[in-house]
Amino acid sequence: MAQQAKPNPIELYEAAVKLMQPIVAGVKPSQLTASTPCTTWNVQALLSHNIKVAQWAQGLITGGPATVNPMEVSGALPREGAAAAFSSGTAAVLAALKGRGVLEKVITTPFGQMPVGQFIMFPMLDIVIHKWDLAKGTNQNVSLDAGLSQVCFNVLQMGVEQGRKGGVFGPEVKVPISASIQNKLLALSGRKP
């Protein structure tokens, strides 16, 4: 029996970004103060978070100074607009990931020391879950890719308890065993699908 290939972290991150870009671009200025399933963040705060996560991740990967706090979401959106800032930030992350030997490089993260290829799964998970939050808050397409949802579900299972202790995730929502992988992922993250 052939061994299943491990998912490629670069391809997963890139796929998550491609699914998020049209949602970010689809946000209307009148929706910035709308609420989202991320109960403490409105649409503008969620956009700021996603932009800052890319900046933060790129800094960790390249060994630059950790000057960006992805949880600090107050203030105006970047002058170039959320869609342009998200695209340029995630493009910088992808460029950093594609460097020779980068995925194997061990870095210090808030989750402990780990290879970059393992670390990038957390920003990827963040994009996928917040794609749903942002789409829900702005009346856009809330469907998630089933393959990405499965990978994110597996990643989230490893760190969900730590995330709950830190207030990042709410208590798990109960869903039927027959629920879609998207709904299982959302429920594990404390969201009502």
Mean pLDDT in order along the chain per 10 residues (193 residues): 70 97 98 93 97 95 82 93 97 96 92 92 95 98 96 86 69 93 94 92
Cβ-based neighbours of 79, under 8 Å, separated by 6 or more = none
pLDDT at res. 65: 66
Cα atoms in the 13 Å half-sphere on the side-chain side of 130: 25
* pTM: predicted TM-score of the whole model, two decimal places: 0.92
Torsion angles phi and psi, residue 108, rounded to 5: -90, 125
What is the distance between the alpha carbons of residues 193 and 142, in angstroms, rounded to a whole number?
Answer: 10
Percent helix, strand and coil across the chain, each rounded to 5?
55, 5, 40
